[in-house]
Amino acid sequence: MTTAPDGRSLIGDVVRLDRLQDADIEELYAAIARPEVYAGGFGGGPAALPASAEAMRTAWIPAAAKRFAYVVRLVSDGPLGAAGTVVGTSSLADVDVLNERAHLGFTGYTPAVWGTAVNPATKLLLLTHAFEVCGFGRIKIQTGTKNTRSQAAIAKLGATREGVLRRHLRQADGSFRDTVAFSILADEWPGVRKRLEDRISR
């Protein structure tokens, strides 16, 4: 039986994911409101970079209510920061229980954690919840064609590249983004999980 995510906290050895709340915005703004985060198209591209935490709150809180948006925090003290430090955000969205599918996206991290275990650990928690708790059969992951770093990260998961959706999403500057769509199916999940676990252990 397929069910929608329930918003519970997802806790692993590297990160914990808590449902995004208004009180998290100040810390999230400090972590990700940077030109290099938005340069690849995150949040609508460079023109969408909020000028203040209040601007982020105004734009993000209503949008987050329409999806399962999480704030990503470090679990333990270490070289990336203290336990509880907010390092990014990710979401499960476009939830379609009837067709057993959802979209893992709206993901952005502070540059200090790029290339670390944070992203694979976050993906492991979200995909485990999606496939093993909610019972989804398909998870979509997508990014802009210009965001080669994100495309490489998605491919590294073991997701299958399905193609390019042309003139797909309007960006904050009025231009349109071409989107590269990937997916992971339920029967592919055990292999993807093993790859993520191996990356985190390294």
Is the pLDDT confidence value at 67 over 90?
A: yes
Average pLDDT over every residue of 128-156: 95
Check residue 7 and give its pLDDT: 92
Average pLDDT over every residue of 191-200: 96
CB 135 within 8 A of CB 1: yes
Average pLDDT over every residue of 186-202: 95
Nearest to 37 by CA among 49, 55, 52, 53: 49
Check residue 202 and give its pLDDT: 84
Sheet holding 101-109, edge to edge: 10-11, 15-19, 68-74, 86-96, 101-109, 138-144, 176-185, 160-170
- The band of 114, judged by pLDDT with boundaries at 50, 70 and 90, is very high
- The band of 149, judged by pLDDT with boundaries at 50, 70 and 90, is confident
Per residue in 71-97, pLDDT (tens digit) is 999 999 999 999 999 999 999 999 999
pTM of the entire predicted model? 0.96
- The band of 38, judged by pLDDT with boundaries at 50, 70 and 90, is very high
Higher pLDDT pick, 153 / 137:
137
Q: How far is CA 73 from CA 12, 33, 192, in A?
A: 10, 16, 23
Average pLDDT over every residue of 161-179: 96
Check residue 35 and give its pLDDT: 97
In whole numbers, what is the pLDDT of the chain averaged over residues? 96
Is the pLDDT confidence value at 22 over 90?
A: yes
Phi, psi of 146 (to 5 degrees): -80, -15
- The band of 40, judged by pLDDT with boundaries at 50, 70 and 90, is confident
Beta bridge partners of 185: 138
**In CATH, what number does 10-201 get?**
3.40.630.30
Q: Which pair of structure tokens corresponds to residue 27?
A: 């810390």
Higher pLDDT pick, 140 / 153:
140
Average pLDDT over every residue of 53-72: 96
